[in-house]
Structure 1
Amino acid sequence: MSLTLILWFRQDLRLHDNPALQAALADADRIIPIYIHDDSPAWAPGAASRWWLHHSLTALAEKLKQLGSRLIIRSGDSTQVLQQIIDETGANAVYCNRIYEPAQLKRDKQLHRQLKDHDITFSIYQGNLLREPDTVRNQSGQPYRVFTPFYKCYLREGWDNLTYNSPRQLPGVTTRIKSEKIADLALLPTIEWDSGLYNHWQPGEAGAWKQLRRFLRNDLADYHQARDIPSLQGTSRLSPHLHFGEISVRAILAELDRQGLRRQGEGFIRELIWRDFAHSVLFHFPHTTDKPFDERFNNFKWKQSKKLLQAWQQGRTGYPIIDAGMRELWHTGYMHNRVRMIVASFLTKNGMQHWKQGAEWFWDTLVDADLAANSMNWQWVAGCGVDAAPWFRIFNPVTQSQRFDKQGLYIRQWVPELASLPNKHIHEPWKAPEEVQKEAGCIIGKNYPEPILELKASREAALAAYKQRITGKS
């Protein structure tokens, strides 16, 4: 019996090391690549992610065309659309790679039952992580809640290193199968706020490999030190490519091995395993997208300040490192990892705003917005999540700035009104004497805002509130 197979692209927009594609090539006579744009689940892609998705789909469609195939684009409820395509084509199999967001996992289980009832094969492959979350448990058979033993488990037990090459050609797709245009999905913004994104990113599989090779060539050797300096491009900047599956994590490790960089890349590999940890937490504790992992925080009395939240979102808090990070985010769809921790701590600890407000803003503005990482990292900083981050850790934006942006290079890039201040005052511009402010052309309270809150008082208030919640004592 000839097999007509639907290859369902999701968060795996690549041809290299795509297990579902590899299985389809081995099993099927006809392969119909599809992408279904479904905005119905909770946490549908935000604005920056939609921008990236438009360009990533465009790159994938062009590559499929070069190999003799065609990407079929549809929109709507994915279960219904998938059934429509099956009815149109007579397909008797659907292959895809697994994604781990709770709504999609639930949908896939339902789909499996539904398709099985109609004698349609539904096969899901592991193409986006190093290991399946359910295969990584402690000696008691429980999922890990702390990263270090999770990391040691990976180093001890390893993972599947097999990768697959890109195909050189693909079966054609009949023109009788109708497709929407990518532009019809309306993923790009109607108001042109996205010009900065074009200057910083190349979405798509080719862009992912270009970025990986640049990182390995220029930055891996100094990764341990440079990754904490926001004025340097010391991180891999592969996170959006990994989220959209334009490159696999196994392919990255294979490239490290090919170039003999495995030992030099130990710190970077640790971050890749942290990514697996985030997906493991989401898989085992799906409620953490919206509710705290630590149940003691279920009824925690977060404050509500529209003024503070808006100042934070707009990069107008009066704290230069915070404002630099938030402006970098708005302009590029990205924020340096060290600065992400600082701005999150400021909002949730000093500002006592609910961590989910920050998570939702990042979700809408980050090109690498990933539900697993976003949820876990915001809760980690807020003190209500997994791992061993103590609830009393509060990042001081001034001392963090002085330590990791000593010359104020990052601040000067993203907060240009402070650019002429001397290093002595750029981290705390409100302390600069009046004559220094005038000489720099930046009057605090006029050209740049005064601090929206006081660090010491807000820190003490946060510690008191957290202590009461954690220990039950004032």
Structure 2
Amino acid sequence: MLEALKNTDEFYPIFIFDGESAGTKIVGYNRLCFLLESLKDLNSQFKKYGGRLYVFRGSPDHIFRRMWEELAIQKICFEQDCEPIWHTRDNLVKDLCVELGIMCVEKVSHTLWDPKLVIKTNGGVPPLTYRMFSHIISMIGEPPRPVSEPDFTNIKFGKLPDYLAEEFKMFEEIPSPEDFGMSHEMDTERLIRWEGGEMKALSNLKDRLDVEEIAFRQGSYLPNQAQPDLLGPPTSQSPALRFGCLSVRRFYWDIHDLYNLVHCGNPPAHHNITGQLIWREYFYTMSVNNEFYAEMERNPICLNIPWREDSGLLTRWKHGKTGFPFIDAVMRQLLQEGWIHHVGRNAVASFLTRGVLWINWEDGLNHFLQHLLDADWSVCAGNWMWVSSSAFEQLLDCSQCVCPVNYGRHLDPWGYYVKRYVPELQNFPVEYVYEPWKAPIEVQEKAGCVIGRDYPERVVDHVQASKQNREYMQNIRSSVLNEPPPHCCPSSEEETCNFMWLPETCLSHVHADYN
């Protein structure tokens, strides 16, 4: 935007719904709401200076060609989208600019560092491990600080002719999800309401910094992954980062500057306070030259694991009807509100893949990309590969998985989170909340929830499934690494269902989200 405002006679701020931009190819209701609220906020800011945000439907290269023909536009400015799945779209615009002699300006602003520079610094190939990535960015140096706010004082906003507005299928106002034929997937009300837009993001950032300062003065860091607050108001900035409502550089530097202020200039290690942002950068960089990054079979960095296909199990997982209360609570919160805590993403992703159901991580990725507010293609796919032990340092890890019973019990001993999102179990005694199938029938009847009638039976015996899946993974590991298979496999629930902790990123991730 700053580049577009330089030496300009008329400024046309534009957003184009082309079926792909901002991840709208498979977008769900909550994600679309957040995007539209963000556009509405931007539009309201332009209106203060006599302008507006033009929102079109169509092909970007066609729209820009017609604007050149009718309005003689001289410069097009946009943000770098480093993910390879968008290159065809962006290259069409770049080629058009070359053909017509239009100045084309592409700025890096969605990431802290330019991923292409990271790859170049590493000898032309992406750093394959997080440790190597950290080394490369230390060689490059600190990311740039955020730029100044735009000044619209003397800017003239261009007015689009009516005939072009009609040709471009322009929305008179910022559209609603219903204008795209979309309605909410769940009947229940959203208990936590996420709101898009820069103004809301900046307000949330201020609140977040207040909480961070308290933590820094107490000698701790956020987020708390060991004992997260699953019921409190979320402090995550990840949706705002995903949709550009908040500058990732501003977030990074505000956190570091605050820490330095509290600790008198004694800087922390990166991973202590902004580690999730660094993991976010790592996954972006790994995806830059890999158009098959979000796939298994054609993806050169991903292990090809023979996952099972079971549409029935997958559907029950998607809709929170697996019979495992913590898993179901997380999946229902996702559909209801569009966001779930990092630890919840960890649990449901492990459950779907190598933990219990042994279903392809691609199915989980596509579900997250549709419903998760902060789901970036590269970071989300990277975390799913990590959780399923399909790539990165987690490759073929057989040792640990998430127990769908004990993990939730550890995080929320009294079951308040489960009862919020699985109201069928509202009256269940706490000792049976995480294993309702163990409750005597008279207890179930007294609670008004009979398992198999009011709440589903377990889809599988998780202890046996986890043991079997570990054996699968160990056999695959032995085959790939040409080593003898292990002599035995743990059989008790305590041994089989150890906790697995992801890197703090899961902003999608499962998403690298900075909770």
Instruction: Out of 407-416 and 389-398, give the one that drifted further.
Output: 389-398
Structure 1 pair 187–209 and aligned structure 2 pair: CA distance change class (3 A): farther
Contact map agreement 2:339 2:374 (CA 8 A) in 1? yes
How far residue 185 of structure 1 moved from its aligned partner, in angstroms, is 8.2
CA shift digits 1:253-304 (9 cap, x unpaired): 2333554367599644111111111211221323112235466733x32211
Residue in structure 2 matched with residue 97 of structure 1 by the alignment: 79
| 2:374 alignment partner, SS class | coil
Structure 1 pair 308–279 and aligned structure 2 pair: CA distance change class (3 A): same
Please tell me the residue identity of whatever aligns with 1:339: G
Residue 375 (1) aligns with residue 375 (2) = no
1:360 to 348, 366, 377: 366
How far residue 90 of structure 1 moved from its aligned partner, in angstroms, is 0.3
Residue 112 (1) aligns with residue 94 (2) = yes
Instruction: Out of 282-291 and 263-272, give the one that drifted further.
Output: 263-272
Structure 1 pair 139–264 and aligned structure 2 pair: CA distance change class (3 A): closer
Separation in structure 1 between the aligned mates of residue 393 and residue 63 of structure 2, nearest angstrom: 40
Residue in structure 1 matched with residue 438 of structure 2 by the alignment: 431
Residue in structure 2 matched with residue 191 of structure 1 by the alignment: 183
Separation in structure 1 between the aligned mates of residue 320 and residue 458 of structure 2, nearest angstrom: 11
Residue in structure 2 matched with residue 17 of structure 1 by the alignment: none
| 1:63 alignment partner, SS class | helix
Instruction: Out of 96-105 and 125-134, give the one that drifted further.
Output: 96-105
CA shift digits 1:133-189 (9 cap, x unpaired): 122247555312222332354356221124222324332222526441132885555
| 1:353 alignment partner, SS class | coil
Residue 147 (1) aligns with residue 147 (2) = no
Contact map agreement 1:334 1:368 (CA 8 A) in 2? yes
Residue 325 (1) aligns with residue 330 (2) = yes
Residue 315 (1) aligns with residue 320 (2) = yes
| 1:183 alignment partner, SS class | coil
Please tell me the residue identity of whatever aligns with 2:88: K
CA shift digits 1:364-398 (9 cap, x unpaired): 11122211122111111111122336532321111
Contact map agreement 2:4 2:76 (CA 8 A) in 1? no
How far residue 213 of structure 1 moved from its aligned partner, in angstroms, is 1.6
Structure 1 pair 296–289 and aligned structure 2 pair: CA distance change class (3 A): closer
Residue 129 (1) aligns with residue 114 (2) = no
Separation in structure 2 between the aligned mates of residue 120 and residue 46 of structure 1, nearest angstrom: 32
Residue in structure 2 matched with residue 206 of structure 1 by the alignment: 199
Residue in structure 2 matched with residue 167 of structure 1 by the alignment: 151
| 1:30 alignment partner, SS class | coil
| 2:11 alignment partner, SS class | strand
Contact map agreement 1:51 1:188 (CA 8 A) in 2? no
Counterparts in 2 of 1:69-80, with a 5 A limit?
A: 69-80=51-62
Separation in structure 2 between the aligned mates of residue 234 and residue 225 of structure 1, nearest angstrom: 14
CA shift digits 1:82-103 (9 cap, x unpaired): 2122222101111111112323
Residue in structure 2 matched with residue 418 of structure 1 by the alignment: 425
Contact map agreement 2:65 2:96 (CA 8 A) in 1? no
Residue in structure 1 matched with residue 25 of structure 2 by the alignment: 44
Residue in structure 2 matched with residue 6 of structure 1 by the alignment: none
Instruction: Out of 385-394 and 178-187, give the one that drifted further.
Output: 178-187
How far residue 448 of structure 1 moved from its aligned partner, in angstroms, is 1.7
Structure 1 pair 152–417 and aligned structure 2 pair: CA distance change class (3 A): farther
5+ residue gaps, structure 1: 1-20
CA shift digits 1:412-468 (9 cap, x unpaired): 211122223333222222222334333333222222222111112211222232233
Residue in structure 2 matched with residue 33 of structure 1 by the alignment: 13
- Count of matched residue pairs: 453
| 1:288 alignment partner, SS class | coil
How far residue 233 of structure 1 moved from its aligned partner, in angstroms, is 3.9
2:391 to 372, 377, 385: 385
Separation in structure 2 between the aligned mates of residue 382 and residue 240 of structure 1, nearest angstrom: 24
Separation in structure 1 between the aligned mates of residue 412 and residue 131 of structure 2, nearest angstrom: 28
Alignment root-mean-square deviation, CA:
2.8
Residue in structure 2 matched with residue 7 of structure 1 by the alignment: none
Residue in structure 2 matched with residue 16 of structure 1 by the alignment: none
CA shift digits 1:303-352 (9 cap, x unpaired): 11122111111111111110010010111011111111110111112111
Contact map agreement 1:303 1:353 (CA 8 A) in 2? yes
Contact map agreement 1:35 1:72 (CA 8 A) in 2? yes
Counterparts in 2 of 1:246-261, with a 5 A limit?
A: 246-257=245-256, 259=258, 260=261
Contact map agreement 2:189 2:336 (CA 8 A) in 1? yes
5+ residue gaps, structure 2: 216-220, 486-515
Please tell me the residue identity of whatever aligns with 2:389: G
Separation in structure 1 between the aligned mates of residue 402 and residue 179 of structure 2, nearest angstrom: 36
Separation in structure 1 between the aligned mates of residue 191 and residue 181 of structure 2, nearest angstrom: 13
Runs of 4+ residues deviating >6 angstroms: none
2:466 to 446, 455, 459: 459
